[in-house]
Chains A and B, each alone.
Chain A
Amino acid sequence: MSDIDDQLDAIIGEYDTEGDHIADFAKWMRRFDAPVMLELVTKAKIIEHVVAALIQEPEEQRFGLLRLLVGSLADHGSHGDGDIFADLCLIVDERRL
C-alpha cells in the first residue's frame, strides 16, 4: 500500500464516524491516480483557506462575501446552466438529514 493510501486510510478512519465530508472526499479520491489526487487535495486546501478567511470577516459582512463566492462559482462553472445551484440544494438537503 502506498503512502498516499495510508494517509487516506488515516483520514477516513478519523472522520468516518459521522460520514463527514472529509472522509467522503478521501474515499472518492481513491479512484484516481496520484497526480489527480494531488490536484484535488490542492483544491480542497484552497476551499479550507478561503472558508477560514471568510470566517475571519465581521459577521455582518460574511453574508455578502458568501453570496459573492457562491455567485462566482455559479457564473464561472457548470457550463453556466445553473447546475451548481441544483447541486448545492441537494447537498444542503442531504446534510440536514
Chain B
Amino acid sequence: MSDNPLEMPEVEKALSEFSLLDVDGIIEKMQERISQAEKGDNIDDLVSELTQIAIDDIDGREPHLAEFLEAIQDFNIDDQTRLMTAAEVMAVTAQRLILEKHDIPEILLRYFVGTLERFWESGSALDLLEDIIRDRRS
C-alpha cells in the first residue's frame, strides 16, 4: 500500500466520484484532510470523514445533496461510489431538462410524474413525491 493516501485505490476511487461537489473548494478541503492521513488509517473512516466534510460544506446551499450524502454513509465504498454516479446522472439530468430561461415547462413535469408512476413497481410514486415535497417545504 502506498504511503500517500491519495494514491490508495479506494480513496482515489471515492474521491473521483465527488465531482458532483466540485464547487467552492470542497475538493480542496477534502484533499487537505487526505494529506493529513497516515499509513494505517482506516479507509472507511477516512471516506466517512471526507463525506462529512462535503455534507457540512453544502448543507444549507444544496440540502437535498447533503441529505443524500448523509443517507449513503451507511453503505460500503463500492455502493457509495455507484450511488454517487447515479446521483450525478440525476443532477446533470435535472440541469439538462431545464430550459435556458431556467424554467421547466409544466408539461415536462407532468411527463416526469407520469413516467415515474408508470415505471414504479412497488408502493406509490405519488405518495413518495408528496413526502419529498412536504419534507422540503417544512
Contacts and interface: CB of A to CB of B under 8 A. Distances in A.
B62 to A, nearest CB: 6
A49 B86 CA distance: 12
Interface residues of A, number: 49
Contacts of A50: 89-90, 93
Given A53-B86, A69-B93, A89-B133, A95 B62 contact: no
A76 B98 contact: yes
B115 A47 contact: yes
Given A61-B83, A68-B65, A76-B94, A43 B129 contact: no
A71 B137 contact: no
A59 B122 CA distance: 9
B72 interface: yes
A44 B91 CA distance: 16
Interface string A48-67: 10111111010101011111
Contacts of B135: 67
Contacts of B120: 55
Interface in B96-138: 96-98, 102-122, 126, 128-130, 132-133, 135-137
Interface residues of B, number: 50
Nearest to B88: A68
Interface of A: 20-22, 24-25, 28, 40, 43-44, 46-48, 50-55, 57, 59, 61, 63-80, 82, 84-85, 87-89, 91-92, 95-96
Interface of B: 62-65, 67-68, 71-72, 83, 86-87, 89-91, 93-98, 102-122, 126, 128-130, 132-133, 135-137
5 contacts: A65-B68, A65-B87, A67-B135, A72-B94, A95-B126
Given A74-B64, A79-B102, 13 more contacts: A24-B111, A43-B96, A47-B93, A54-B86, A61-B72, A66-B128, A66-B129, A67-B64, A67-B68, A68-B87, A73-B98, A95-B113, A95-B126
